[in-house]
Structure 1
Amino acid sequence: MGPRLYFQRVPEGKVVKNRVHLDVRVGTGLVGEERLAVLEAECARLVALGAVRVRLLPADDENESCIVMQDVEGNEFCLD
């Protein structure tokens, strides 16, 4: 099976730029350091292709870590 897209509706509007935000699932089923290692490896691969790493959102009580990135046109997406 190839990549799947998930579009999440939110009640608030975005004040600037893209209204569609993609979460690219690369660490499904993984947690902690193992998950972070997979996210970092995919981040490095995408950076080599021209993407930009914006920031790491660390895990909290409700969510696992994810990495916010931008594609070559500046569109934000998350490695999740």
Structure 2
Amino acid sequence: MSSIKQFQVTFDCADPERVARFWCEVLGYVAPPPPDGFATWDDHNRSLPAERRGAWFACSDPTGVGPRLYFQRVPEGKVVKNRVHLDVRVGTGLVGEERLAVLEAECTRLVALGAVRVHLMAADDENESCILMQDIEGNEFCLD
């Protein structure tokens, strides 16, 4: 039996390219080049039947370390809390006020990109502080 070496994280969303480009900015990921024969993704999308235009988009870690992110259009909107979410690890190894300063700075950057700050989860006896947020379509994630 072989072990799994790679995985991708898939997001259901209304506007795959918009959400993918948001996450590219958050994580420093890159969008793939358009398919062969097309100068842009818009050119590629115009070549598709209307129902398939903009149906998906993807992005990946330029270093090849992080998982590929795949975004697929679904007809229904988000209605409940995610069962799985991303932890964006910007404060690893930091504690106290130093950690909070880094989290707050990143939160400010992401809010400018369209994210929503939900609330600060303050440090306790077991966990350091983190900030619960939502992406541009309401998917929860944590700044950790």
Percent identical residues: 91
Q: Distance in 2 between matches of 1:21 and 1:28?
A: 17
- Unaligned segments of structure 2, at least 5 residues: 1-64
Query: How many angstroms apart in 2 are the aligned matches of 1:19 and 1:41?
Result: 27
Q: Which has the higher contact order (CA 8 A, sep 6+)?
A: 1
2:105 matches 1:41: yes
Identify if the C-alpha distance between structure 1 residues 25 and 40 changes in structure 2 by more than 3 Å, giving closer, same or farther: same
Q: TM-score normalized by structure 1?
A: 0.79
Larger radius of gyration: 2
Q: Give the CA deviation at 1:9.
A: 25
TM-score normalised by structure 2 residue count:
0.45
Q: How many pairs were matched up?
A: 80
Stretches of structure 1 that go unaligned for 5 or more consecutive residues are none
C-alpha contact 2:78 2:138 (8 A) present in aligned 1: no
Q: Does the 8 A contact of 2:132 with 2:140 survive in 1?
A: yes
- Cα RMSD of the aligned pairs, angstroms, is 6.2
Between Structure 1 and Structure 2, the one with more helix by share is 2
* Runs of 4+ deviating beyond 3 Å: 1-15
